[in-house]
Structure 1
Amino acid sequence: MLPSYDPQDTEAGLKLLEDLTANAHLIQDQLLSEILTRSARTEYLGRFLGGQVDKELFKRRVPVVNYEDIKPYIERIANGEPSDIISAKPITELLTSSGTSGGQPKMMPSTAEDLDRKTFFYNLLVPVMNKHVDGLDQGKGMYLWFIKPEISTPGGLMARPVLTSYYKSSNFLNRPYNRFNVVTSPDETILCPDSKQSMYSQLLCGLVQRYEVLRVGAVFASAFLRAIKFLEAHWEEMCLNIKTGQVSEWITDLRCRDAVGLVLGGSNPESASSIEKECGGKSWEGIIKRLWPRTKYIEVIVTGSMAQYIPLLEFYSGGLPLISVMYASSECYFGINLQPLSKPSDVSYTLLPNMAYFEFLPVENNHEEISSEVQCNGTVSNRNDVHKADVMDTVDLVDVKLRHYYELVVTTFTGLYRYRVGDILMVTGFHNRAPQFRFVQRQNVVLSIDTDKTSEEDLLNAVTKAKQHLEPLGLLLTEYTSYPDSSSIPGHYVLFWELEAKGNIDFPELDLGIMEQCCSTVEESLDSVYRRCRRKDKSIGPLEIRVVKEGTFDVLMDFCVSQGSSVNQYKTPRCIKWEAALKILNSRVLQSFFSQSVPSWEPFKMGTK
């Protein structure tokens, strides 16, 4: 199912994409048949299929599941039981997802073969970009890639994020170097476990080679902007390194230090002076184009929750295109953006039929009860928020309908069968027989700044714990909402709280210490991914509570109703993203409070067998 070809051969790569998409139905059937032939006798599938490999039997008997349904099987493998509980091939590692379950990252099974599938996927991005952007073989990419914490499970398997897995794999480290995959960051800087040293070293290497750079980026928009903010704080020191040809003493990772020293290659006062001139100006508007003048585009994911960073990216970019090239997750890699120069709001991904067996659960809006949340986020016309989903029979990849909404379900070679990914997609068109999808939202996620995904339930539980601190003040929390504030880097969560005094007492003066404790309790109550982003990655800033005047949420409801919400069906949205609604809330803020402590965090622990 993984045809071989030379990624440097643009014509061959594009032809392969045409063949895959033109034969999507056949490839999907063949892929499911291969998965079932391999795995029908695993403990999990054997319960439903009894060793049979019929597609219709599979769809009738094997249930559509979520993570909690398969978690016990994965934990058994993590604790040392054989892989054939769920997979015919040995599970070689567990990939930790940014999605969470019970406060801990999900763990997705992976095999050695899965790394080859990812490499095949990455290679297909090359001909797509070459088709749309000329001359990419005439320089380098400055991509900022990082690894994150990993642990060994009781059964001896490594558990780590999907990109950490790939960057540490032989597929990445032993990749054949060609004119398309040359990057400014030495592998030693990418693999440096200290995120600050890694960030500094990669940016320094990118500055030294700035006239060779043709494209810049990171995986997520938030990570790239964090790097620009880091550069703002450290450019003078980096210029000194370039001027003297010496790496700063605090870069203590020896392999990283040696690799950066080779890139520096000795003193270069002229280059340092040129960089100082750009960075020392009045404004950093357009700084990316000014520092890396040959750059053709910025490659970052700007769909989904990352769309909030588009204005900042545009400020720094100097008019460069923002390109989202791929759609992937810890479960598997899904699709490619075949029109990479499209506007961020128009990005659609073509699902590759040989990545996994895809099914779709139709998601239907109740047209008689337009969600007040949709109204208050100002996105009715785009239908970017889906209020209610009626789960029906699944639809195959080639049978989805234009402009309909679906929840993605996958069956993989790694041991996931009819697994609900949790992504809501809208069909925007077709490339041959393969549908193209716009990512709409994560199911149930209301807040996200980086890789964190906070659901409405997570937020409610955290607020419930925090509001207990209000008891000594004689106050009640009557209503709340939130929004992800990305106006600065790092972004942070903002909660709007409306408080009411108990009984007939006057509204008391708010105690700074107690309100700051409320902020800290919310943070401590959120999941481990949020706490890791706050404590270790420093990619999220301190949480803020803004206390608003009494009656504010009545004003908000009146406004939403005036925009078309139904009074009968109105409920306060737990996340507000519409500028007009935010303006109402911010105009009625009495006081703001920030968390003064960093929440606790440690890499997740496995239970014992």
Structure 2
Amino acid sequence: MNIKSILAKPFAKTVVAKIYRQSNNAVKVQQNLMQKLLSQAAHTAFGKDHNFSEIKSYEDFKKEVPICDYEALKPYVERVVNGEKDVLWKGQPLYFAKTSGTTSGIKYIPLTKESMPTHISGAKNALLHYIDETQNADFLGGKMIFLQGSPELGDTNGIKTGRLSGISAHYVPKYLMKNRLPSWETNCIEDWETKVEAVIDETIHENMTLIGGIPSWVQMYFERIVERTGKKVGEVFPNFNLFVYGGVNYEPYRNKFEDLIGRKVDAIELYPASEGFISYQDSQDENGMLLLVNNGIFYEFIPSEEFFDENPTRISIANVEVGVNYVIILNTNAGLWGYNIGDTVEFVSLNPPRIVVTGRIKHFISAFGEHVIGKEVERAINSQTENTSISINEFTVAPQITPVAGLPYHEWFIEFENEPEDLMVFAQKIDESLQQQNTYYFDLISGKVLQPLKITVIEKGGFNNYMKSVGKLGGQNKVPRLSNDRKIADELSKFQQK
């Protein structure tokens, strides 16, 4: 055991104990954080416009600060982008995290001197929780890789600008620099397929112990290793024992990963967004991710079924309930206020508060009033692939409103690695699971408004080819699990298995 592994255990114990003390006192910690954020931003343009200095309670806060998305906050953001100080947060940001939006085009998310450390500590503390729980710190002695965007940064009126993952690459702790792969040069390669091959060149003969990234893109890395070596990833990297991921649910990929690796490995789920590091998996045994209540974000929650109402219920962590689907709203030390990032979450425990990400408020199917969400389709497909030989590479779902014949239906586009023996039975079982979860969908099926779902099999590599065709191969890009229209579906149809 190396010195890093030895020292990490007592350090992890101390950090984890502190975090749990805060988590078990979440309501008070969040109340204090709200007042701290308001005090620090009281003299900003946004703070003055919304009477921050007069806010004494959460009820006051709700009256003064409206719920918004990037488009609504854009007039303030543009002032920051143009170089103005003290607009959303004191001074100017250290960075802009540059992301793409469906309606707003390019989005510039500010990262400040106060917020940037929370992004780094979130990932670090997730690993410390794992070390404290499992007493396994051996991975610190090997090489680690996070498949991420380029660390090369641009300039926006004197403020460095890039992808969050690329910005974060500048903050790797010195004690881990020798463990970190790939090289800076390889990380800067923009073309994803070229980058994956270069990453393999640099890692294939190394003692890889930790691998991280969005599952769909790590899967490509693993597949190319198997193709190149003829061996399972677990043979190529015998000491690889920890997979760190975020961005999408791992469960639909688990069978495929275990086949590629040749064995099971521990996994840690992270929930980082450009707007803030929200939660991470703190236990290998407990369901959900620990909500970070003292990480520069004051959270609000709106029941998703009310979100599009004129006056939806808006609550703090003090009033959330287990099992309710909420739209999560952020107020941050980067100057985002009443900010809807578009994600929906569900609490699985309150003390400490743990959440699961259930989908996107705009990624749903409700062409007929069924309001099917991401969590439901993932649970449905997992119910038929778990502990079976069936494995999938990717899937997405869209409504078929005008079929050639018969009633409308939900069309599932699935790229299999190992197909089920009977595709019709597989589809039937998934449909039954979805009906059990969603009463609206059940009513539409039983009422003969919809016919049961149909599966369109996508050729192997089809999803990657689709993403490549729209310029979104690799990096932090993801295929939505659900769409309420056929834009993606019609393009994916071009890659249907012959």
Query: What is the TM-score normalised by the length of structure 2?
Result: 0.71
CA 1:598–1:409 in structure 2 vs 1: closer, same or farther (change >3 Å)? closer
Map 1:98-177 onto structure 2 (within 5 A). 99-102=101-104, 104-137=105-138, 139-148=141-150, 152=154, 155-167=157-169, 169=170, 171-172=171-172, 175-177=173-175
Given residue 313 of structure 1, which amino acid in structure 2 is its aligned partner? F
Structure 2 CA distance, aligned partners of 1:71 and 1:416?
A: 11
Matched residue, 1:202: 199
Which residue, out of 233, 238, 246, partners 1:293?
A: 238
Structure 2 CA distance, aligned partners of 1:46 and 1:352?
A: 26
Which residue, out of 92, 96, 99, partners 1:97?
A: 99
User: Which moved further from structure 2: 387-396 or 314-323?
Assistant: 387-396
CA 1:597–1:207 in structure 2 vs 1: closer, same or farther (change >3 Å)? closer
Shift, 1:413, TM fit: 0.8
- Structure 1 unaligned segments of length 5 or more: list them: 1-5, 236-275, 280-286, 366-386, 448-454, 457-482, 500-547, 574-579, 587-593, 602-609
CA 1:51–1:555 in structure 2 vs 1: closer, same or farther (change >3 Å)? closer
Shift, 1:497, TM fit: 6.5
Map 1:164-243 onto structure 2 (within 5 A). 164-167=166-169, 169=170, 171-172=171-172, 175-177=173-175, 182-193=179-190, 195-209=192-206, 212-215=207-210, 217-232=211-226, 235=228
What is the DSSP-based 3-state SS (H/G/I as helix, E as strand, rest coil) of the residue aligned with 1:325?
strand
Matched residue, 1:420: 340
Given residue 294 of structure 2, which amino acid in structure 1 is its aligned partner? P
CA 1:388–1:39 in structure 2 vs 1: closer, same or farther (change >3 Å)? closer
CA 1:327–1:84 in structure 2 vs 1: closer, same or farther (change >3 Å)? same
Q: Which digits, 9 at most, give the CA deviation of each residue in 1:364-420, with x for residues without a partner? A: 48xxxxxxxxxxxxxxxxxxxxx9878533222233112222111111011111111
Which residue, out of 565, 573, 576, partners 2:443?
A: 565
- Tell me the number of residue pairs that the alignment of Structure 1 and Structure 2 aligns: 412
Shift, 1:550, TM fit: 2.5
CA 1:339–1:98 in structure 2 vs 1: closer, same or farther (change >3 Å)? farther
Matched residue, 2:12: 10
Matched residue, 2:314: 394
What is the DSSP-based 3-state SS (H/G/I as helix, E as strand, rest coil) of the residue aligned with 2:454?
helix
Which residue, out of 55, 58, 62, partners 2:61?
A: 58
Structure 2 CA distance, aligned partners of 1:50 and 1:555?
A: 47
Structure 2 CA distance, aligned partners of 1:205 and 1:48?
A: 52
Contact 2:151 2:167 in 1 (8 A): no
Shift, 1:188, TM fit: 4.2
Matched residue, 1:551: 406
Matched residue, 1:312: 256
CA 1:49–1:120 in structure 2 vs 1: closer, same or farther (change >3 Å)? same
Matched residue, 1:358: 299
Query: What is the TM-score normalised by the length of structure 1?
Result: 0.59
Matched residue, 2:278: 334
Given residue 167 of structure 2, which amino acid in structure 1 is its aligned partner? S
Matched residue, 2:362: 444
Given residue 40 of structure 1, which amino acid in structure 2 is its aligned partner? A
Structure 1 CA distance, aligned partners of 2:202 and 2:135?
A: 24
Given residue 182 of structure 2, which amino acid in structure 1 is its aligned partner? S
Structure 2 CA distance, aligned partners of 1:164 and 1:34?
A: 29
CA 1:570–1:85 in structure 2 vs 1: closer, same or farther (change >3 Å)? farther
Structure 2 CA distance, aligned partners of 1:145 and 1:402?
A: 34
Shift, 1:204, TM fit: 2.5
What is the DSSP-based 3-state SS (H/G/I as helix, E as strand, rest coil) of the residue aligned with 1:409?
strand
Shift, 1:160, TM fit: 1.9
Give the alignment's Cα RMSD to 1 decimal.
4.0
Contact 1:89 1:414 in 2 (8 A): no
Structure 1 CA distance, aligned partners of 2:47 and 2:200?
A: 48
Map 1:576-591 onto structure 2 (within 5 A). 581-583=453-455
Matched residue, 2:326: 406
Structure 2 CA distance, aligned partners of 1:411 and 1:437?
A: 18
CA 1:70–1:320 in structure 2 vs 1: closer, same or farther (change >3 Å)? same
Contact 1:136 1:214 in 2 (8 A): no
Structure 1 CA distance, aligned partners of 2:410 and 2:189?
A: 51
CA 1:185–1:309 in structure 2 vs 1: closer, same or farther (change >3 Å)? same
Matched residue, 1:68: 71
What is the DSSP-based 3-state SS (H/G/I as helix, E as strand, rest coil) of the residue aligned with 1:64?
coil
Structure 1 CA distance, aligned partners of 2:55 and 2:32?
A: 12
Structure 1 CA distance, aligned partners of 2:26 and 2:325?
A: 20
Structure whose CA Rg is larger: 1
Contact 2:409 2:450 in 1 (8 A): no
Map 1:221-300 onto structure 2 (within 5 A). 221-232=215-226, 235=228, 276=229, 278-279=230-231, 287-300=232-245
- Structure 2 unaligned segments of length 5 or more: list them: 1-6, 368-380, 382-389, 412-427, 436-441, 458-464, 473-498
Contact 2:252 2:392 in 1 (8 A): no
Structure 1 CA distance, aligned partners of 2:467 and 2:280?
A: 42
Map 1:24-35 onto structure 2 (within 5 A). 24-35=26-37
Structure 2 CA distance, aligned partners of 1:52 and 1:496?
A: 48
Shift, 1:87, TM fit: 1.2
Structure 1 CA distance, aligned partners of 2:340 and 2:42?
A: 20
What is the DSSP-based 3-state SS (H/G/I as helix, E as strand, rest coil) of the residue aligned with 2:278?
strand
Q: Which digits, 9 at most, give the CA deviation of each residue in 1:311-368, with x for residues without a partner? A: 32232132313523321211100112111356xxx44333333331111112348xxx
